[in-house]
Amino acid sequence: MLLVAVSGGIDSMCLMEKVREEGGPFAVAHCNFGLRGPESDADEAFVREQAARYNIPCHVKRFDTEAFASTQGISIEMAARRLRYHWFGELCREYGYEAVAVAHNANDNAETLILNLLRGTGLKGITGMKAEGFIPDPEFGDIPLRRPLLEMTREEIEAFAREHGLSWREDSTNAQSAYKRNKIRNQVFPIFATINPSFIQTLNRDMARFAEEIETLEGSCTSDPFVASLLVPPNASCPSATGTNCGPLPLTRPRVAMGSEAHALPDVSTGFTTKDPGFSKEYSIAIEEWDGTEAVKQPEGVLILDADKAGEYTEGAWKSGDWIKPLGAPGRKKLQDWFTDHHIPADEKPFIPLLKSAVEPHHVLAVIPYCIDHSVRVTSTTRRILRICAKND
């Protein structure tokens, strides 16, 4: 059974209608972020009414988004994103929903591309959103996320809504440009349209082509270190004996440590070497296909995690604020506390290599060679694994 995210806007009402026409069972989830006062409450009432009209189960939750953003030190947009996906994950776990559907469309995809380019991105950032993926939440990263409208432009959605006599709510903040996405939508895209009226379709085709070409280059990396080096972003440096951070690199790309003896290994990246004489911290990262038939064995010095759940990552050392949810543990833990619990000497902490999420820089995905984060564990949905092998001297 599918869980459909419905805000009440035209995109989500179009999504709800398309899913309803398919005839399969589904439920609706509506987030009231409380950011627009009575208008937010009216959106909630509208979604409840539309769900009741078709006798569709409807889940509604109200959030104090501003308070959450303040306590977490993040933007309102990021706070709303985290809150909604975490709640969707909770609903799936509680009610057994198999996947979540959201109403991202071709315009949203183009906006995301421009945002990524403006703030700086690796190769993954220019491939756009995917029609099929997983919930971007560390606790529920194995729940499928679907975007059925991703190939539809907003004009096509509006035409569909008119043809089907749909009702929807207009978000008054969409006309404002306080948020970066709205500024791009309202001020930048109209200029693009004067240059190329079909720029939305053009950008989406480009993103799809980028994804295909990157996949081809990834295949070449296994036999051609030079091709692999071309994939390194301009602002990223190769691992070195001083432990230089390798930067946010697309996970599916095998990387080459120039000057390292391990650089010739196929489909492998090499980690940095520290000055700690007791444990060199040399390690390799290999990406492998996974069919689920092999038992998940993690002998001493080896970590195995789901490559796709890990997403983009960085390699580096411990910093204040880093946290991890150890595999099988009930909640997150400050890495400083994890070190203390595992009796890691204070003088060794700076030399412990870490894999961190590029999206959440303080979220540690792996403490090499000790443990991995629960969110990147291998499950029945895993298709590729990241095998990290550490070398003891």
Lowest mean pLDDT segment, chosen from 81-85, 232-236, 288-292, 384-388: 232-236
The residues spanned by each domain of the chain are 2-195, 231-391
Fold classification of 2-195 is Rossmann fold (3.40.50)
Confidence of residue 381 (pLDDT cuts 50, 70, 90): confident
pLDDT tens, residue by residue, 155-213? 999 999 999 999 999 988 777 776 788 899 999 999 999 999 999 999 999 999 888 88
Most confident of 114-123, 233-242, 285-294, 318-327: 318-327
Most confident of 67-76, 92-101, 266-275, 372-381: 92-101
Q: Which range among 10-24, 221-235, 306-320 has the greatest average pLDDT?
A: 10-24
Query: 292 or 111: which carries more pLDDT confidence?
Result: 111
Average pLDDT over residues 2-11: 97
Give the pLDDT confidence of 211-263 residue by residue, as tens digits. 888 777 655 544 444 444 444 443 333 332 222 233 332 322 233 222 222 22
Most confident of 115-129, 231-245, 271-285, 312-326: 312-326
pLDDT tens, position by position, 64-75 = 999 999 988 888
pLDDT grade for 281, boundaries at 50, 70 and 90: low
**Per-residue confidence (pLDDT) for residue 220, from 0 to 100:** 52
Q: Residue 299: what pLDDT?
A: 66
Average pLDDT in the chain: 80
Higher-pLDDT residue of 290, 352: 352
What's the average model confidence in pLDDT over 38-57?
Answer: 96
pLDDT digits (tens, 9 = 90+) for 336-346: 988 888 888 88
**pLDDT band at residue 274 using 50, 70 and 90 as cut-offs:** very low
Tell me, what's the pLDDT at 189? 95
Question: What pLDDT does residue 315 have?
Answer: 86
pLDDT digits (tens, 9 = 90+) for 111-135: 999 988 887 777 778 888 889 888 8
Express as a percent the part of the chain with pLDDT over 90.
44
Give the confidence band of 298 by pLDDT, cuts at 50, 70, 90.
low
Do the bridges between strand 132-134 and strand 268-270 make them parallel or antiparallel, or are there none, so unpaired?
unpaired
Residue 361, pLDDT score? 85
